Amino acid sequence: MFSSPSDPIHALAYPLTLDEDRGRFAKTIDYERYVQDLVLQTLMTAPGERINRPEMGTPIPQLLFASIDEEVADLVKAQIRRAMTLWLDKVVRVEHIETRQPELSRFEIEVSYVILATGTTDVLKRTIAR
């Protein structure tokens, strides 16, 4: 199901964009970028958004409308770890998840993970601004 770094990548880039030169959808050609796209898709998909996988995703997209306190931040961390373990456990290992709310209108999420096939550590950072 998942590729290894030595396999050629045959995946559409995420987010979906056009390759202006070729007149086609852009493709991902780098394995680490491919894994980064998988992580981003998993985290930015709301539960129930995928018809055949209603349990996939995290509540991150819904945070725009939520009142965020320490309890919600802890729940988000747990949901991120659950989603990453459930859907990407053969691809990445989560090292650290951090959430911050530097302002009332901003919520920051940082996920550090190791790409298992390469041993490379990557960090995904997202800010939810209201």
Q: Which one is predicted more confidently, 74 or 105?
A: 74
pTM of the entire predicted model? 0.78
How many Cβ atoms sit within 10 Å of the Cβ of residue 116? 16
Instruction: Describe the crossing of helices 31-44 and 70-88 by its angle, rounded to 10 degrees.
Output: 130
Q: Please give the domain boundaries of the chain with CATH numbers for all domains.
A: 11-129 (3.10.450.40)
Per-residue pLDDT, 9: 63
1 has a pLDDT exceeding 50: no
Contact (Cβ atoms closer than 8 angstroms) between residue 99 and residue 107: yes
101 phi and psi angles, rounded to 5 deg: -130, 85
Q: What is the mean pLDDT of residues 43-66?
A: 87
**pLDDT tens-digit readout, 6-46:** 666 667 777 778 888 888 888 877 888 889 989 999 999 99
More confident residue, 78 or 102: 78
CA distance 34 to 6: 13
Instruction: Specify the pLDDT at position 6.
Output: 62
Phi first, then psi: give them for residue 27, nearest 5 degrees. Answer: -115, 155
Would you put residue 23 in left (φ > 0), alpha (ψ -120 to 50) or beta?
A: left
